[in-house]
């Protein structure tokens, strides 16, 4: 390693390192935009929990810029809770974590998912992350601060869809599976179908049976252990969407709950949560996935 020197020379900056030398033109300092001073509702969250929450919800945000409002993650501050939620119309991810600071009547901020994802990675090792949300003015902003770093971003304008009402209050019909077993089986069986093609999952007292009807030349099936409460259920799910939800439970076991429906060919949404103990699931992270139509 060699020392790097920087020197100003009129309107240029000269950079030297060993035998290398660069002369770079500078820009007028007065043209550099001033950093905004964000004031508004302020609170703190645990840095590790913040980073984990961001990683859990951002995969569900839409990648299609045609509808900007769902390319963001909705932050909602309500009493002592910060909720993060994202959707791409086919799935919804939501995570709740404790908020310490100013309280508000369900104050919300729609943050670009790509920006929030980078912020989550940057601040995940911080002890505390301070979040300041400024809405109602000409420029609606959110600022994230930890240690000596601050990231400020404009909020997305528009109304985020009311996804919270999609989550059922209670579901009595569910299966409990080993998370990694189902992830690994889904990856193996999904090898014979296109990325967007769904797999057929049969949840019963015998466990979980996976089937891929890719083509006449390539088909696959596999079974894993599982426990079911209530009726057997058959659903058709996209492999990557299912894996995204299972991976982010961060739990050895996952609960997959089945919303009741009157149409057996059109199952209701599947709710994925972490199963922390024999009787209780952890609802701090919830992932709602809409199945595909079942092909008989």
Convert the pLDDT of each residue in 187-232 to its tens digit: 999 999 887 889 999 999 999 999 997 666 778 999 999 999 999 9
Could you tell me the pLDDT band of residue 11, with boundaries at 50, 70 and 90? Answer: confident
Over the chain, what is the mean pLDDT? 91
**Tens of pLDDT, residues 24-58:** 998 888 887 777 778 888 999 999 999 999 999 99
Query: What is the rounded distance in angstroms from the CA atom of residue 157 to the CA atom of residue 162?
Result: 15
* pTM, rounded to two decimals: 0.88
Question: Span 135-160, mean pLDDT?
Answer: 90
Residue 55: exposure state from Cβ atoms within 10 A (0-12, 13-18, ≥19): middle
Q: How confident is the model at residue 278 (pLDDT cuts 50, 70, 90)?
A: low
List CB contacts of 125: < 8 A, sequence separation 6 or more.
47, 48, 51
The model's pLDDT over 64-95, given as tens digits with 9 standing for 90+, comes to 988 999 999 999 998 899 999 999 999 999 99
Sign of CA dihedral 100, 103, 105, 108: negative
The pair of structure tokens assigned to 139 is 């420029």
For the chain, percent of residues with pLDDT exceeding 70: 96
Q: How large is the average pLDDT for residues 248-265? A: 89
pLDDT band for 296, please (50, 70, 90 cuts). Answer: very low
Residue 294 pLDDT class (50, 70, 90 cuts): low
């Amino acid at each position: 390693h060699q020392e790097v020197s920087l020197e100003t020379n009129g309107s240029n900056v000269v950079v030297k390192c060993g035998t290398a030398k660069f002369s770079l033109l500078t820009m007028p300092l007065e043209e550099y935009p001033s950093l905004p001073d964000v004031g508004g509702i302020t609170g703190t969250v645990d840095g590790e929990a913040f980073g984990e929450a961001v990683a859990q919800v951002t995969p569900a945000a839409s990648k299609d810029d045609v509808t900007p409002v769902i390319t963001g993650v909705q932050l909602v501050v309500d009493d002592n809770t910060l909720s993060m939620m994202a959707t791409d119309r086919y799935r919804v991810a939501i995570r709740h974590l404790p908020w310490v600071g100013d309280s508000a009547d369900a104050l919300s901020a729609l943050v670009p998912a790509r920006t929030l994802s980078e912020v989550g990675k940057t601040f995940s090792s911080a002890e505390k992350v301070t979040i300041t949300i400024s809405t109602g003015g000409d420029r609606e902003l959110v600022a994230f601060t930890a240690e000596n770093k601050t990231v400020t971003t404009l909020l997305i304008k528009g109304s985020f869809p009311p996804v919270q009402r999609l989550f059922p209050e209670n579901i009595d019909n569910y299966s409990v599976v080993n998370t990694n077993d189902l992830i690994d089986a889904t990856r193996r069986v999904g090898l014979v179908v296109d990325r967007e093609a769904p797999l057929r999952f049969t949840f019963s007292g015998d466990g979980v049976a996976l089937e891929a009807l890719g083509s006449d030349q390539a088909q696959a099936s596999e079974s894993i252990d599982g426990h079911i409460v209530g009726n057997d259920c058959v659903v058709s799910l996209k492999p990557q969407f299912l894996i995204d939800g299972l991976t982010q439970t961060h739990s050895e076991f996952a609960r997959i709950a089945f919303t009741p429906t009157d149409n057996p060919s059109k199952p209701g949404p599947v709710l994925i949560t972490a199963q922390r103990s024999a009787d209780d699931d952890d609802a701090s992270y919830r992932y709602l996935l809409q199945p595909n139509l079942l092909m008989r």
